[in-house]
A and B are shown apart, each in its own frame.
Chain A
């Protein structure tokens, strides 16, 4: 798993639960034993098995179910002002929420364009009817669908769209989320300028 993802998980834990919880998680997941450090470097690549282990230990340490934590992680990733980059990169996907949803088809490819070694799970968006879309994530590490749920909740808000998200059939290797758009112009939404200020 790319370090960027593991590093993001670590930042999320530090931000949401503090350094003591991260130390606990790192200790229980035996990060020092596995990689010689309890910190993830964003630009290195780690063994795929480490990520689920960290998430499972986090769930035990803070006593919260994994899906909840992953959804929070997704929401944190795009709403934390210190990491506005991710939200911005996603907003490049389209001028409205529907266009954004369609742009998720290209998201893994876009990510690879930016960082060659970064491999996101394959994503496929299909439009079911005028208001409903299905996002299918397929990848070796499960749980990515929950992260996408969190991300999409915040981004819908960002576009000023009222949408309902529903997990459907989270099975190994394939996670499907149904997105129902209730109101396209529910709120003003956040402005997005193409050229980020320096």
Chain B
């Protein structure tokens, strides 16, 4: 036969967060860790349901109500700290008198508790230490993991932020227009500056798509994007490898042509581009029709030029094309 004290000592070691409760609800014994949850004095002698609220099964308030749930998971909380959800399990204590009767309604029961997922809040709230958990309890390993994981996550977050900043910086420094694969304005500025400094003669062609807005508005952005990509293809096909084509605005393009020795050639290139752009562009079975207005300027070799002036002269020629009824090329003279 085993004495009550021996029972309790074994339980204190194996499950320090247990209580032994009499059938009437009076607490007969508490494990050492439960003792720590009690602010003042002890819960021994008090009613279990004055200290704990049973969350599931809903608001049970007597041992008789929870006894049938022996072995199943109980959800409960402390009355003075309702935000901290505890898990529990009830086990009726076998009759200690050594009698033959199996469990009777008069048996005491053991209710063992655990912080479950609230473990971190629990150890913080009650300043628990390793000694408050059974040596076999995984609570300490769980706390270790929580701490190690949050440190690792913090390092990952720092790296992600750094990469994000680097990505933005890289995009700002990029030379490519992501939609068409052409060069962008930044790249065009660099190439133009180089051509001006080289003084070997070059031309600048400003191309503005005509009727693009109509396509975009009537057929949608996807069609608009498709047309821009097709137009880019046309410009690549109708110019030389050494020419630089940049998308500098929504439907505005600039072509830089190095080594041009006479202006007449420009009109020929411009007309070729317009003719090709006027071929209907297929998008999902529908034909998108656009054209282009072009303004060009030719800078002869040895000539001093200023990028800003070159571009604005080409723009002026472009506007003359627009005003003269679009779909044509004008050479700035």
Contact = CB atoms under 8 A, between A and B. Distances in A.
Contact of A85 (B143, B147, B158, B162): B147
A57 B56 CA distance: 64
Interface residues of B, number: 25
Contacts of A196: 147
B324 interface: no
A193 B124 CA distance: 8
Q: Report whether over half of chain B's contact residues are helix, strand or loop; otherwise say mixed.
A: helix
Contact of B149 (A4, A114, A192, A193): A114
Q: Report whether over half of chain A's contact residues are helix, strand or loop; otherwise say mixed.
A: loop
A22 B155 CA distance: 21
A114 B147 CA distance: 9
Contacts of B159: 41-44
A92 interface: yes
B28 to A, nearest CB: 29
Contacts of B144: 89, 92, 110
A197 interface: yes
A195 B142 CA distance: 11
B152 interface: yes
B155 A43 contact: yes
A92 B123 CA distance: 13
A194 interface: yes
B131 interface: yes
Given A44-B159, A92-B147, 7 more contacts: A41-B162, A89-B144, A94-B130, A95-B131, A113-B145, A114-B145, A193-B124
B136 interface: no
Nearest to B141: A92
Interface in A75-101: 85, 88-89, 92, 94-95
Contacts, number: 60
Interface string A26-46: 000000000000000111100
Interface string B143-187: 111011101100110110010000000000000000000000000
Contacts of A42: 155, 158-159
B155 A193 contact: no
B218 interface: no
B84 interface: no
Nearest to A7: B155
Interface in A175-198: 192-197
11 contacts: A4-B155, A41-B159, A42-B155, A85-B147, A89-B144, A89-B151, A95-B130, A110-B148, A195-B120, A195-B122, A195-B127
A115 interface: yes
